[in-house]
Structure 1
Amino acid sequence: MDGTLEEKMGTVYKVTLHWSHELEKSRILEYTQLMVRPWKLIWLNLIFGASRGVGIAIGFTFFAATIIYFLQVLGALNLPIVGDYIADIVRIVQRQLELNTR
């Protein structure tokens, strides 16, 4: 009977150890500390939001510049219908950029 009690205690210990590791991985302590200090949570969200916004702006700028570059290359090929359409788009974008810089 003692052997089975020790086995049960060993099993309980292993399960408890597993759950403690899972809770440590979930970082529940940091989460509860943020809930106690709402200003720190607000500050962190402000920083993360600003960095995400800057990242989106940089990514969109790179994407738009790449699209405009390819449109200029396609416009230089002098394709009959597509070339005129692309040239009009490029002219519109360039005019808009000139208006925004003034």
Structure 2
Amino acid sequence: MAQNVDRADVIAAQLERLAQYLEKMNVAGYVELMQRPVRLLLLNFAAGLARGLGIAIGATLIFALMLELMRRVILLNIPGIGGFVAEVMRIVEQTNGQGRF
């Protein structure tokens, strides 16, 4: 009889730990979201827009910084590097001026 009570206490403790673990993982929120596919689509669409906007802004900033760095290297007139960078920038400007990307 005492062994059954101890076993029941162990099982109850394990169930309590499992319930706490599932609560930490927010399984209930995930299941609720899966039951509402329209909301899931809208959330994924908004997340995709945010990612795309972030990538576009980040790439623009990085390329702008690279161009500014290249411009400064040209102004320093370092032999070899300055001429190479000037040629690259001339090609980029010529290509952009003709409307090709």
TM-score by length of 1: 0.81
More RCO (CA 8 Å, sep 6+): 1
Residue 99 of structure 1: how far off its partner (Å): 6.2
Deviation readout 1:8-46 (Å, 9 max, x if unpaired):
222212211111111112211122122211111110000
Q: Which residue of 2 aligns with 1:79?
A: 78
Q: Which residue of 2 aligns with 1:35?
A: 34
Q: In proportion to residue count, which structure has more helix? A: 1
Q: How does 1:4-15 map to 2 (within 5 A)?
A: 4-15=3-14
Number of aligned residue pairs: 98
Residue 94 of structure 1 and its aligned partner are, at CA, apart by 4.1
> 4+ residue runs of structure 1 moved beyond 4 angstroms?
none
State how far apart, in whole Å, the 2-side matches of 1:29 and 1:13 are.
21
Taking structure 2 as the reference length, the TM-score comes to 0.82
Which sections of structure 1, spanning at least 5 residues, go unmatched? none
Amino acid at match of 1:23: L
Other structure's SS at 2:80 match: helix
Q: CA separation of 1:77/1:64 partners in 2, compared to 1, >3 Å: closer, same or farther?
A: same
- How far has the Cα of 1:74 moved from its partner? 1.1
Paired residue type of 1:15: Q
> What is the DSSP-based 3-state SS (H/G/I as helix, E as strand, rest coil) of the residue aligned with 1:80?
coil
Q: Which runs of 5+ in 2 are unaligned?
A: none
